[in-house]
Amino acid sequence: MGLLNFIKDVGEKLFGASEAKAATADELKKELDKHGLNADGLQISVDGDKVTVAGEALSTEAAEKITLALGNTVGVAQVDNQLKVKQAAPEAKMYTVQKGDNLWKIAEAQYGKGQGAKNTLIFEANKPMLTSPDKIYPGQVLRIPPLA
């Protein structure tokens, strides 16, 4: 997956994080645990506003969710995903939410006109970080899964 950019002054505010730097590796692991994403065996390092994550993830989806959970926190501008994946699958697109967006509008933009009802796919692809389809915010990065 490589390097993914985020807007570092938006997202979940973690203990020890600021707009200038990311939280500690331990706090970021707690964030993964909070979302039910397995951090066992992952190596997370923080260098200012850049987070590097290495180790092994169960699937491409899990690796993408780990990256998003780390990157959608205050103080993180980049996540370098060096995870190896046990079960490879096509990668999702990443989309940065803009002011005025909602999941319906994003689905139409990503999947084509008349495809707004596919917003449920986007919501499901971003669980557990998203708890409601109405709770997205500008600057947040979302997974846009490929259509089957």
Measured at the CA of 72, the angle between CA 100 and CA 7, to 5 degrees, comes to: 65
Residue 70: both structure tokens together: 């780390």
Domain ranges of the chain: 2-87, 93-144
**pLDDT in tens for each of the 148 residues of the chain?**
789 999 988 888 888 888 888 899 999 999 999 999 988 999 999 999 999 999 999 999 999 999 999 999 999 999 999 999 998 999 999 999 999 999 999 999 999 999 999 999 999 999 999 999 999 999 999 999 999 7
| CATH code that applies to domain 93-144 | 3.10.350.10
Going edge to edge, which strands form the sheet with 78-87?
2-5, 78-87, 50-59, 43-47
Total-model pTM: 0.91
> Taking Cα atoms as reference points, which of 36, 79, 39, 64 lies closest to residue 125?
64
Strands (E) located in 13-118 = 43-47, 50-59, 78-87, 93-96
Distance CA 145, CA 89 (A): 11
For 2-87, CATH number out of 2.60.120, 2.60.40, 3.30.1340, 3.40.1710 equals 3.30.1340
